[in-house]
Copies of this chain bind each other. A is one copy, B any other.
Amino acid sequence: MENRQIVLAERPRGLIDASTTTLVTTPRPVPGAGEALIKVGLLSIDPTIRTWMDDAPGYMPAIQLGEVVRSGGTGVVVESKTPHLEVGDVVFGMTGWQEWVIASDTNRFAILPKGLGLDLATVMNVLGVTGITAYFGVLDVGQLKEGDVVVVSGAAGATGSVAGQVAKARGAKKVVGIAGGAQKCVEVVERYGFDECLDYREAHLRRRLRAACPEGVDLYFDNVGGVVLDDVLANLAMRARIVLCGAISQYNATERHGLENTASLITRRARMEGFLVFDYTHRYDEARAALAVMVATGELRHQEHVVSGLEHAPDALNLLFRGENHGKTLVSVDESVLLG
């Protein structure tokens, strides 16, 4: 009747390490009236978790020292004292890095759609927050237009790979990825069907971008920020749209990169806009339906990188910042629950 939990022990500088988190064992929580007990199955490992570990103002409060590390995840309802959830429901919500969690009015869980014929890892990737982010980022914030030249950074990642495929499926003339390393670039083109992929670790990205997009970039879906964003800013087409989804290059940085090329927003009459997928919760079903169809028809390829064991969640998070993950990173806390 225990609950293993990973709590924040120390605020990290740069990458997290052994002193950042501690594995603790507490009693398994008991649901009260209006609550339900959830056995956690899979954790969604997203770059934004790293930003919550800093003691800095963001779109959510910082994780407090001693608090369970905040994280999205899925699980199964095993005991329910609320009419909203039934035993056996597979749910998604903020599970945190732990084995058991209570669903309540202040920590709500959504029941995942059934009968899609998709395994849970796929659902958490393409139909989860990652895929939905890509969908609204490209179509709604980015206002993709027929014939657009689209560039996506973090193109081998969970969000970037979906963003490029959605753009291509919805009328982009050309989709160019940016990723780290030759192997990922091959994957972006061969697995995800991008027209081209540039390795940002090689020299002269700005020049190579110009060669790949000689008429400029119409829509840039940015997952990385920093120098790569600056290089794209130097290559904008008229009325370009830059969608700021994330800035993974900056989350661990002890010194921020100052953007030097924003003057091009004036000369190109361009727009740079940030967004968070949580603003679209009322439209998640619309995105899920569209993405499920794309998966079913084979138009949307995806890949999950599953790390086994709650205790490896911190290492799984670092995979993202080292660029060592392939596709959506998940941690399986208890596979048996979800497969059985």
Contacts and interface: CB of A to CB of B under 8 A. Distances in A.
Interface of A: 57-59, 225, 244-247, 250, 256-260, 262-276, 279
Contact of A272 (B247, B258, B268, B271): B271
Interface SS, A side: loop
Max count, chain B CB within 10 A of own CB: residue among A263, A265, A268, A275: A263
Contacts of A58: 267
A274 B268 contact: yes
Contact of A275 (B225, B244, B266): B266
B271 A273 contact: yes
Contacts of A271: 271-274
B279 A273 contact: no
How many copies of this chain does one complex carry? 2
Contacts of A265: 244, 272-274
A262 B270 CA distance: 15
Contacts of A262: 225, 244, 259, 262, 272
Contact of A247 (B57, B263, B274, B275): B263
Given A271-B273, A273-B271, A256 B260 contact: yes
Nearest to A272: B272
A112 to B, nearest CB: 26
Given A256-B260, A259-B259, A267 B59 contact: yes
A44 B265 CA distance: 24
Nearest to A236: B274
Contacts of A266: 59, 244-247, 274-276
B272 A276 contact: no
Nearest to A276: B269
Nearest to A57: B267
Contacts of A245: 266
Contacts of A263: 225, 247, 250, 274
